[in-house]
Amino acid sequence: MASGLFQWLLDLFCCRSYCCDCCLEKNEDVFPQRRYKYTYVYAGRHRTYSETSSRASSTSESRRSSASSTLSNNIAGSSVDRRGNSSSAPVIDMRPIEFWPAGATNKESVQPRSRANRLMGTSGVDVRKFQPRLYEVDENEDDDMTDEEKVAKYKLGQLYFNFHYNLIHSVFIVTVREARNLPFPMIGDETRQDFAHSNPYVKVCLLPDQKSAKQTSVKPKTQNPEFNETFKFEIPFLEVQRRMLLLSLQDYDKFSRHCVIGQVILPLENYDLLKVSNVWKPLQPSAQLSPDRGDVLLSINYLPSAGRLNVDVIKANQLLQTDIIGGCDPFVKVQMVVGTRLVKSKKTSCKKNTIDPVFNESVSFNVTPDVLDDVSLVVTVWDYNCKSRDDFVGRFVLGRHPTGAQETAHWERLQASHRSPVAQWHTLKSRSDCDQCSLASVAASTRG
């Protein structure tokens, strides 16, 4: 009776015929011994060995000795489980996780916070009380206006141009055709009431790169200029699709600052660039009241042993045009100011009829190491006139009395790397802006 009950329990709890030694002995005449294959790699060669299931039989004695003790416990627990509903739920340790040594005094719980606590910021403010509508940015109302409505609202005129991309030569081509119904100068600036007509020109660039901007010629005394000028930008096709085309229509003024009449900005991703797109667009107001004066690429280095400060004027880009006909004849003057005293002035040669001159000229100054910290370099671009006074284009100052963060960073790089040339682009500023923030600019203006 006992042996029959024992056999019934074995059949009930065994998952397969080979789960225990007793089943293996019972069925060894029915199921042959299983062979296990092992593969070893030695010296780049694979070798396969086989092994019978004698390992299981060698340990059968030890398993039989422990089977009787563990089986009784399994029978008792299993019988309870079969009579009950199901097994009890697992016990989960909910104690906080600690990453500190056992002897630490200050311990902090790192258990996840509840959902209510997660919605509370570190300052105790409940984010559920935020009102998103108070932080929404209003959409630009101009996006919902038609071109006709923009023309009627701003009254700045219209600009006609076309553009496309040439896959064969990998260039983006823009042609500025004409502008219509431009406002008179007195409308945009009351101080220019003596000017009956504008002298418009157009600057073209692919944002955000403004260093490679192109510029049309100036059309004198007209509110309906015709340009018909074509510009090419060497840029990959995938890159130009991510750019925005900016056309800024500006008014030339020889005796005062130039002013921006209006601008057109087009995201190029909205157009099929492989086809020629002819576009009439209304001019819209620009946040930039006056056009840029241009940029200058300057390289400086200092030789302490020789006591010489070298300044290399490499080139300039998109200089402010000061002549209505003939463009600009620029040259660069470099003045060394020690403290507030002008010591030396030197200048480059003049480049004829260009707003993008390339100089590649060097000037040098004798500066001892103990005086270097008091030195300022005043760099000024002038437009040469043979029959009148030269026209001021722009200026910036490096050294002791700089005119901005760019100039300060350039001078610090010079002091950190003696004997090594340090090159950087600088944006030209007006004379008044430089005099307001730099004593060296004032000294150069009064004595230069």
b vs e for 360-386, b when ≥16 Cβ sit within 10 Å of the residue's Cβ? ebebbbebeeeebeebbbbbbbbbeee
**226-234 vs 171-180, strand pairing mode:** antiparallel
Q: How far is CA 198 from CA 58, 185, 241, 294, in A?
A: 107, 6, 34, 22
Q: What is the pLDDT of residue 364?
A: 95
125 pLDDT band, cuts 50/70/90, is very low
d(CA 411, CA 406): 9
Q: What is the pLDDT of residue 198?
A: 87
Q: What is the Cβ-side half-sphere exposure of residue 356, based on CA atoms within 13 angstroms?
A: 7
Which pLDDT tens digit goes with each residue over 346-387? 999 999 988 889 999 999 999 999 999 999 999 999 998 887
Mean pLDDT score across all residues of the chain:
76
What's the gap between Cα 425 and its chain centre? 19
Phi, psi (degrees; rounded to nearest 5) at 6? -65, -40
Between these two residues, 439 and 71, which has the higher pLDDT value?
439
Closest CA to 379 of 446, 332, 432: 332
Residues in the chain: 448
Most confident of 38-52, 185-199, 209-223, 318-332: 209-223
d(CA 215, CA 176): 10
Question: Which residues, 6 or more positions from 140, have their beta carbon under 8 angstroms from its beta carbon?
Answer: none
Residue in this structure with the two tokens 């500023």, named with its chain if needed: 429
Q: What is the pLDDT of residue 290?
A: 61
Between these two residues, 336 and 257, which has the higher pLDDT value?
336
Q: Find out whether the peptide bond into 208 is cis, omega within 30 degrees of 0.
A: yes
- What value does the mean pLDDT take over residues 225-239? 94
- The one-letter amino acid at 82: R
CA end-to-end span of the chain, whole Å? 124
139 pLDDT band, cuts 50/70/90, is very low
Asked whether 153 and 142 are in contact (CB, 8 A), the reply is no
- In the 8-state DSSP scheme, what is residue 305? T
> Which tokens sit at 142?
């101009």
d(CA 331, CA 329): 7
> Which tokens sit at 368?
């001892």
Q: Crossing angle for the helix pair 2-13 and 60-83, nearest 10 degrees?
A: 80
- What value does the mean pLDDT take over residues 327-332? 87
136 pLDDT band, cuts 50/70/90, is very low
- What value does the mean pLDDT take over residues 288-305? 85
Residue in this structure with the two tokens 């996840």, named with its chain if needed: 112
Percent helix, strand, coil in the chain, to 5, is 25, 35, 40
Contacts for 343-352: CB closer than 8 Å, 24+ residues apart = 345/448, 348/313, 350/384
Q: What is the pLDDT of residue 389?
A: 85
Q: Does the pTM exceed 0.75? A: no
Please give the full DSSP string across 109-176, using - where no structure is assigned: --PPPPHHHHTB-TTS-BGGG--GGGGPPPPPGGGGS-HHHHHHHH---EEEEEEEEETTTTEEEEEE
292 pLDDT band, cuts 50/70/90, is confident
Contacts for 430-434: CB closer than 8 Å, 24+ residues apart = 430/257, 430/293, 430/394, 430/395, 431/392, 431/395, 433/403, 434/395, 434/396, 434/397, 434/403
Helix (H, G, I), strand (E, B) or coil at 68: helix
Q: What is the pLDDT of residue 229?
A: 95
Q: Taking phi first (over 0 means left), then psi (-120 to 50 degrees means alpha), and beta for anything else, what does residue 318 get?
A: left
d(CA 70, CA 81): 16
Lowest mean pLDDT among 190-194, 229-233, 420-424: 190-194
